[in-house]
């Protein structure tokens, strides 16, 4: 065999053996959107998640490592609704990457594709961490994730037309499985309907609305403000009149306030994963809700 022919055959074999290089670099601000982008993109994307489940997504340091990642990104996937207002604008400004700035196709806000709740009637920072565009913790309702998935698939295909059909195929598979899971979760969680709960931070409003649970109080006297002894005593007094069955906190939060209430009100304090990676059982988007519902049902039983 001619040496040139051998070389061509070797190169062809190498090309077949080498996996395709991911063509879309995605910078996700929080774990849920990183997991969703990976579900849709598969091996056609590289996903970097800027935070982990044990970090408060409101308060993140704009580190050089985040800036460097944003500089190389083709797509930034954020929650929006001002969840990341304290750090993401600085990261994007310092990155100097024109294609992922707000208003550009490479910038995607999940909250833009759902109906937010708890929009304040009055904007006053004296009232704490007020979100003028509504509660940003949209990921605690899986129906919102379904809506975001459809929009994110469309955006990814626009940015990477070569792989758009691949993204749509993966999305169709995910959407079918996801909608079946929602039906399963709702059936499993039927016993939670009407159950009254306390929350440490208004992190679960969408979850409670979805499951038909009732929030009877918030340990934080104002959004983002740590509870005081006086505010906790008020909650405890209110518990006598309107008893809750449990007190909920996100995995990233300190358990001090919720444990204080739980011990005195004789109710369980439950840490919910809140996002992917919030506990060892919340490994991906599906197990996030499997685990969340299991923990809520365990508290009721």
* 126 confidence band (pLDDT: 50, 70, 90): low
Q: Are residues 240 and 274 in the same domain?
A: yes
Q: For residue 153, what is the domain's CATH number?
A: 3.40.50.1980
Please report whether residue 157 resides in a domain.
yes
- Domain termination site, one of 184, 211, 235: 184
The pLDDT assigned to 13 comes to 47
In a domain, 32, yes or no: yes
Which stretch, 94-103, 116-125, 218-227, has highest mean pLDDT? 94-103
Pairwise CA distance, residues 60 & 265, whole Å? 33
Domain boundary among 143, 159, 184: 184
CB contact set of 92 (below 8 Å; sequence gap of 6+): 70, 76, 100, 101, 102, 107
pLDDT, residue 29, reads 98
Please, which pLDDT band fits residue 16 given cuts at 50, 70 and 90? very low
Alpha helix stretches (DSSP H) within the chain: 3-17, 31-41, 64-71, 88-95, 142-159, 164-188, 205-211, 229-241, 256-265, 285-300
User: How far apart (Å, rounded) are the C-alpha atoms in residues 213 and 244?
Assistant: 11
pLDDT of 64 strictly over 70: yes
What's the CA dihedral at 47, 98, 168, 293 to 10 degrees? 50
Residue 83 reports pLDDT greater than 80:
yes
Q: Which of 184, 203, 231 is the last residue of a domain?
A: 184
Instruction: For residue 262, give its domain range.
Output: 190-300
Determine contact, residues 182/293, Cβ cutoff 8 Å. no
Q: What is the pLDDT of residue 121?
A: 73
Least confident of 36-45, 113-122, 144-153: 113-122
User: Which pTM does this prediction carry?
Assistant: 0.90
Asked if 147 and 210 sit in the same domain, the reply is: no
pLDDT confidence of residue 222: 86
Q: How many domains does the chain have?
A: 2
Instruction: Evaluate if residue 228 carries a pLDDT over 70.
Output: yes
Which residue has tokens 């008893």?
243
In a domain, 248, yes or no: yes
- Is position 10 within any domain? no
Q: Is the model's pLDDT at 9 over the cut of 50?
A: no
Q: Which range has highest mean pLDDT (47-51, 118-122, 217-221)? A: 47-51
């Amino acid at each position: 065999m001619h040496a040139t022919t051998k070389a061509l055959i070797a190169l062809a074999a190498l090309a077949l053996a080498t996996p395709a290089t991911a063509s879309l670099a995605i910078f996700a601000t929080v774990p849920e959107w990183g997991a969703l982008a990976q579900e849709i993109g598969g091996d056609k994307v590289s996903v970097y998640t800027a935070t982990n489940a044990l970090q408060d997504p409101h308060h993140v340091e704009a580190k050089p490592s985040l800036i460097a990642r944003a500089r190389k990104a083709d797509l930034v996937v954020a929650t929006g609704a001002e969840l990341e207002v304290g750090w993401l604008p600085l990261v994007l400004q310092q990155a100097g990457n024109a294609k992922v700035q707000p208003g550009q196709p490479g910038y995607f806000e999940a909250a833009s594709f759902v109906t937010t709740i708890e929009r304040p009637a009055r904007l006053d920072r004296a009232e704490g961490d007020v979100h003028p565009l509504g509660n940003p913790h949209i990921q605690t309702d899986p129906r919102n994730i379904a809506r975001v998935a459809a929009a994110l698939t469309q955006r990814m295909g626009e940015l990477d037309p070569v792989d758009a059909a691949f993204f749509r195929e993966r999305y169709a598979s995910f959407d079918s499985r996801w909608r079946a899971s929602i039906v399963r979760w709702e059936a499993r969680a039927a016993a939670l309907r009407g159950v009254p709960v306390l929350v440490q931070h208004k992190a679960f409003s969408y979850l409670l609305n979805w499951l038909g649970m009732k929030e009877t109080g918030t340990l934080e006297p104002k959004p983002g403000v740590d509870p005081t002894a006086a505010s906790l005593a008020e909650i405890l007094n209110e518990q006598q009149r309107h008893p809750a069955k449990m007190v909920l906190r996100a995995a990233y939060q300190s358990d001090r306030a919720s444990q204080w209430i739980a011990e005195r009100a004789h109710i369980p304090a439950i840490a919910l994963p809140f996002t992917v990676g919030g506990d060892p059982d919340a490994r991906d988007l599906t197990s996030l809700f499997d685990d969340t519902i299991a923990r809520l049902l365990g508290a009721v039983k």
